[in-house]
Amino acid sequence: MNNPIDIFKALSNDARLQILEWLKNPEGHFSPQEGIDLVEVGVCVSQITSKLNMNQSTASQYLSILQRAGLVNATRIGKWTYYKRNEDAINRIGTFLQKDE
């Protein structure tokens, strides 16, 4: 697991939490993408930016923070970058919080 402090810092922003929530069920929150599976590949940064109703620079910065914390994975296809949740990392956070140490 990445540094827990970095993970919790990444989670300390409403917009970043919202992104993770949307990516939990991408088909329910984003439009289909031509030739790209929302669940398997991820959601294009342009759709996330639009849904956040903020500029691309800010949205990209939020996604970068989530990626550095290991909470999302990015896949570049052509000129587009697609993001999906890193479910293994998110599950490890739950396990970390439940430890009895």
What are the structural domains, with CATH classification, of the chain? 4-91 (1.10.10.10)
Whole-number Å distance between alpha carbons of 64 and 44: 14
pLDDT at site 51: 96
pLDDT at site 57: 94
pLDDT at site 101: 62
Whole-number Å distance between alpha carbons of 58 and 39: 24
Kindly give the parts of the chain with pLDDT less than 70: 1, 101
pLDDT at site 1: 67
Whole-number Å distance between alpha carbons of 2 and 40: 23
pLDDT at site 6: 87
pTM of the model: 0.90
